[in-house]
Structure 1
Amino acid sequence: MTGYEGGAPRELGVPGELGAPGELGVPEGLADGLAEDLPEPGAVTVVVPTFNEAGNVRELLRQVTMSVESRLPCEVVFVDDSTDDTPAVITEAARDCPFPVTLIHRDKPAGGLGGAVVEGIRAATSDWVVVMDGDLQHPPSLLPELVAAGERASATLVVASRYTKGGSRAGLAGGYRVAVSRASTWLTKGLFPRRLRGISDPMSGFFAIRRTAVTADALQPLGYKILLELAVRCRPRTVHEVPFVFQDRFAGESKSGVAEGLRFLRHLVGLRTASPLARMLVFGLIGLTGFVPNLAALWGLTHAGLHYLPAEIIANQAGVAWNFLLIEMLLFRDRRQHRHWADRTARFALLANADLVLRIPLIALFVSAWHLAVLPATALALLTTFVLRFAGTEALVYLPRRTRKDRKTGAPNADSTSRTGPTSRSTA
């Protein structure tokens, strides 16, 4: 990592000198009013993930300066994945700020926007961390209220919500984005009713959280819905909401699109299948869908004149391939790096076809030894091979390999730890 100094930043925890009312854009009476309302402590790290937001940086820092006065010591951490001149703009704009500004530029944006937020939380030094977008759709004027509300309510997490009384989604462009936002909210709350209790806007990207409530290594962000990740995996004890009006974008274009939508759906599946029981259920549902390509291939092969026995074996491979693709994409996406794709494919195919070899002897055993009728014996054999196939898939295909040193020390394999790309860090 490299560092450089610019603009004589102050250490976090020392009140920023914003000057007399009216200087540096602070309106008359604002500082006094905030000082009366804000309880101690007030230190906050503002984490701003950016991707090509050069046109928004100066205005964002100006509004943060106007909103945060001397009773709320502040630092801003930009985690930047940009391909334009955003890092240079951040460096230049930071020279005029009365608080420290840190720039972390990632060469490889692992985890997308969510991964950038986790990187920023790791770099935070304050009691409170506020996460907000860099396009000014999240109003910086709400920063003091988020922290103050958290202190007043002794909350762990404070969510700026568009869907609580006084909030609005006015800045969402067009009926399509409004519909997608609402549908996503309903879907997530339906999938996680207990974890998201008390959160009316789980899709919000604007929130404050106590740094002690976040276990960064437990997070597995994928895409831009980091609040959902934090709420489900870190389980904050007390949640409070503050209404906010979603603003129009100040400059640039939205990064939302079909690709981000697909990443969001994969993220939902990953969160929902975090427990072994949930993974087994999804594994079974995927297995059921495999009957469709299996039967279609069997029909085609037998109608082409192939004998039904070799046709059964070949058609079974169509179902195996279908199941493998879905399991790779939906169920074990985050574990694919532990083995080469050819190794995973061969192991999965071997396990799936072993099911055919094992099932018939099991049925014979259940009928002869346990005196079961053929139908219940077949059902029990199917259930047994299903459980064995699931356990084998987890253990032999997708769990990271342990080295001889790992087995001796009991240490986790290095492949099982989360990885981020190279970063460069600057304090401006």
Structure 2
Amino acid sequence: MSEDLWTPHAPSNPEFSIPALSVPEGVVAGSVTLIIPTFNEAGNIGELLSRLAGSLPAGLACEVLFVDDSTDDTPAVIEKAALDLPFPVSVLHRENPVGGLGGAVVDGIRATGEGRPGTDWIVVMDADLQHPPHLVPELVGEGERTGADLVVASRYLPGGSRAGLAGNYRIAVSRGATGLAKGLFPRALRGISDPMSGFFALRRSAVTADALKPLGYKILLELAVRCRPAKVAEIPFVFQDRHSGESKSGAREGMRFLAHLAALRSATPLARMLGFGLIGLSGFVPNLAALWLLTQAGMHYLPAEIAANQAGVLWNFLLIETLLFRDRRHRHWADRVGRFVLLANADLLLRIPLIALFVARFGMQVLPATALALVTTFVLRFAATEALVYLPRKARTARPTRS
């Protein structure tokens, strides 16, 4: 990943001043890094930095880090707007925006620990002013007062509102996504009424960037599920209208969200095995559909069975790649396809001898023998798929040479 980090010097205008705000009661004047991911947000930068300058208390050591994936002049606009500010502003421009908005936040978190002064708190917010800048001190203050590791700005607390969501469709989608996430992760999201919020404060000591594997916009969900902060607090906020530009959310982000949920839910071996089995069952649909089409076209049922089985195998491969092993695709895709197809067809060849063994050697009836063979080959295929298709290759160690 090619990245450019621009860090300005101290404010160039000595006459610039902000209102004499004090640090909220209970807040230790530590260091705060605001991580703001941007993608073509040039029209919002000036107003955002102006509001931040009027909101951040003078006693709170603060810096702003923009992690930028833009294709427009957003970095140049940030550089110009930052000249007259009382706090340092940096831009981390990513040429390869891996992981979308969530990946940008993780790269920002990683940057806070690489050759920079220690940061006590990280505040994540959007650049479009739908997250009110004046709440940044309140987020940090609530964390200091309560001893929480994570403080979420929630639209669903008394005093909060989702008013800035445009239309009933987006409101319904947001509500549905929230309910789905809380239903899948009831323990990890306990105490978080708005897991879809992108506005929150996090103790730097409570997160390890290398543990995060985000996909798309929902970075709070990723942090809560993978890092499991010990204590969570919330404050209400009113979701504002966009200041400038258009929303980046859409059907594609919706699909990425579902894939993200599946990846988080399948993080343990038992969950992956269950998902592997459910995907295998779903493969009967394309298998039977292909068999019907081939036999209707006049193909003999035996070669049609073999060909139709490949349709189910490829269906299973696509779902497993997307939902279960998205972050384990270390080998070339052709290598993964070949290995997966070979294992899936070996399953058929192994099942018949196993059934014969159970019947002839152990005296089992055909139906229970078949069921036991199905379970046995399923477990073996899952283990072999994980080990032979998706585990990374072992690094070769160089042999010592004689002088």
For this structure pair, what is the TM-score category when the shorter chain's length is used for normalisation?
over 0.9
1:339 to 325, 331, 334: 331
Q: CA deviation at 1:73?
A: 1.0
Partner of 1:207: 200
Partner of 1:88: 76
Partner of 1:318: 311
Aligned residue type for 1:158? V
* Structure 2 residue matching 1:148: 3-state secondary structure: helix
Partner of 1:35: 23
Q: CA deviation at 1:307?
A: 3.2
Q: Aligned-pair RMSD on alpha carbons?
A: 2.1
* Structure 2 residue matching 1:99: 3-state secondary structure: coil
In structure 2, how many angstroms separate the alpha carbons of the residues matched to 1:399 and 1:264? 25
Aligned residues of 2:4 and 2:93 also touching (Cα < 8 A)? no
Unaligned runs of 5+ in 1: 11-16, 409-428
1:98 to 86, 103, 109: 86
Q: Is 1:368–2:370 an aligned residue pair?
A: no
Partner of 1:181: 174
Partner of 1:383: 375
Partner of 2:40: 52
CA shift in 2, pair 1:84/1:376, >3 Å = same
TM-score, normalised via structure 2 length: 0.93
Aligned residue type for 2:57? E
Partner of 2:52: 64
In structure 1, how many angstroms separate the alpha carbons of the residues matched to 2:7 and 2:302? 74
Aligned residues of 1:54 and 1:84 also touching (Cα < 8 A)? yes
2:397 to 397, 405, 416: 405
Partner of 1:290: 283
Q: CA deviation at 1:121?
A: 1.1
Aligned residue type for 1:204? S
Partner of 2:10: 8
Q: CA deviation at 1:367?
A: 1.3
Aligned residue type for 1:142? L
Aligned residue type for 1:282? G
In structure 1, how many angstroms separate the alpha carbons of the residues matched to 2:111 and 2:211? 16
How many residues are aligned here? 393
CA deviation map 1:375-402 (0-9, x unaligned): 1110000000001111111111111111
Aligned residues of 1:44 and 1:72 also touching (Cα < 8 A)? yes
* Structure 2 residue matching 1:56: 3-state secondary structure: helix
Aligned residue type for 2:50? R
* Structure 2 residue matching 1:92: 3-state secondary structure: helix
Aligned identity (percent) is 70
Q: CA deviation at 1:52?
A: 0.6
Aligned residues of 2:8 and 2:90 also touching (Cα < 8 A)? no
Q: Is 1:75–2:63 an aligned residue pair?
A: yes
Aligned residue type for 1:199? I
Aligned residues of 2:4 and 2:92 also touching (Cα < 8 A)? no
Partner of 1:358: 350
Partner of 2:268: 275
Higher relative contact order (CA 8 A, sep 6+): 1
Partner of 2:140: 147
Q: Is 1:220–2:213 an aligned residue pair?
A: yes
Segment of structure 1 superposing worse, 286-295 or 309-318: 309-318
In structure 2, how many angstroms separate the alpha carbons of the residues matched to 1:18 and 1:272? 52
In structure 2, how many angstroms separate the alpha carbons of the residues matched to 1:111 and 1:301? 41
In structure 2, how many angstroms separate the alpha carbons of the residues matched to 1:84 and 1:384? 56
In structure 2, how many angstroms separate the alpha carbons of the residues matched to 1:234 and 1:407? 40
CA shift in 2, pair 1:154/1:166, >3 Å = same
Q: CA deviation at 1:321?
A: 1.6
Aligned residues of 1:57 and 1:134 also touching (Cα < 8 A)? yes
Aligned residues of 2:24 and 2:137 also touching (Cα < 8 A)? no
Aligned residue type for 2:10? A
